[in-house]
Amino acid sequence: MKNNIVKVGIVGANGYAGAEVLRLIAAHPNAQLTAVTSRAHYGKRVCDVFPALPCELAFTDMADNVLKTCDVVFVALPQTAGAALVGELIDAGVRVVDLSADYRFDDVALYERVYKVTHPRPDLNALSVYGLCEYNRDKIRAAKLVANPGCYVTSVLLPMLPLCKAGLASDIIADSKSGVSGAGRKSDEAYGFCALDENFKAYGVFNHRHAPEMSEKTGAEILFTPHLLPIKRGILSTVYFKTPDATAALDALKTAYTGEKFVEYSETLPEITTVAHTNRCVFSARFDGNRGIVVSVIDNLLKGAAGQAVQNMNIMFGLDEAAGLPRYAPI
């Protein structure tokens, strides 16, 4: 890194999360976009594919050695598709923020069971730091490889980790609703306009891949059901739990993120529009005896993916943690 400018590469910039990283980096005061890859748009200029971005850089192939000249590379490929590439970049001395689940799990065997693959570089799991910024900031600073958390997971972990770590939550049920971009950019009738408009549905019941990630990071069994909303972006998670001490639980939630720029407790119940197009997580809680309910909202493409990834980069390179990241929702 020269003159406080980070040379950045982005692999998989055509997907929703990768494109959001591209948009954030293009406007980042301390970043220089050095390489960007997309098989679908190979050879085209960024400004031709995304007219809103005045960038003349051409999309290249992920095998291009220019990636190895970067200070950091964001790998925004589907699960299992980029694990080997991440290893090559780390071996070449490039720092990596991986937006997939390939390096999120402490238990490699659990990852292999969930994703039904053999991990190509299990040796790197011990090197990887889980990129939940507000919890692992010190480790992220020195990390060579940061595993960006899942979007649903982020919406649940941020409010529930203070409770789980203090032994103040049990019997946890997470009921989450996401905008359609959370399913990724894919050609599938189930995610088309006609299937989703004026509709609302559950999916991944008892087998969504984010459930084991939530349970591993909290140390608690979490019953998780995701749903798709007929909106573009945003997640609202309603988390039900039991607590031995509602007063202590509420105090823990109100004080856990004092001073944080992107996570806050709200006295009023937050809505998706509270955080859409921002890097914030806002949550609130209500209690009735030993029963608690938390409502948590994030933008799935920002705090749930690209925004948190850029926040991780800022921490890794000693930059202002909020650099290049939106804090306020459009009116």
Q: Which positions are annotated as active-site residues? A: 151
Nearest to 294 by CA among 163, 145, 117, 198: 163
β-pair type (72-75, 31-37): unpaired
**How many residues are listed for the chain in this entry?**
331
Q: In this structure, what are the phi and psi dihedrals at residue 46, rounded to the nearest 5 degrees?
A: -55, -45
Report the SS3 class of residue 331. Answer: coil
Q: Locate the DSSP E strands across 127-169.
A: 129-130, 145-147
For residues 28 and 22, is the Cβ–Cβ distance under 8 A?
no
Determine the Cα–Cα distance for residues 30 and 7; give it in Å rounded to an integer: 9
3-state helix, strand, coil in the chain (%, to 5): 35, 25, 45
Determine the Cα–Cα distance for residues 186 and 52; give it in Å rounded to an integer: 22
Max CA pair span of the chain: 61
